[in-house]
Structure 1
């Protein structure tokens, strides 16, 4: 469908449906922006934001019988 045909179709709709089309276009723009942001992530961007406790690798007490 060409842009001209799309304009004719939208203009033939009642005003309330035109508003729905406009809302849907805004939704699609927002959805596209969110996808663009996800693609721009870099490796290591969260470095230093996650801290593990010093005893993270120590065996758990509840598994002492199995070690």
Structure 2
């Protein structure tokens, strides 16, 4: 399993950043192609955060 790793920062406090992880069930190529709409949805659900970057990586669980 892969994970989308988003680096996000608070809009009100841009130096306060963290990584958010979203599980992704698919290949690395699929993660790169299909990641954008998942990330856009996360951004819509969390308007107080700004997405600075994202990447596909291995899940921490395996």
TM over 0.5: no
**More RCO (CA 8 Å, sep 6+):** 2
- Name the TM-score, length of structure 2 as normaliser: 0.29
Instruction: Determine which structure has the larger helix proportion and give its number.
Output: 1
- Name the TM-score, length of structure 1 as normaliser: 0.28
Instruction: Determine which structure has the larger strand proportion and give its number.
Output: 2
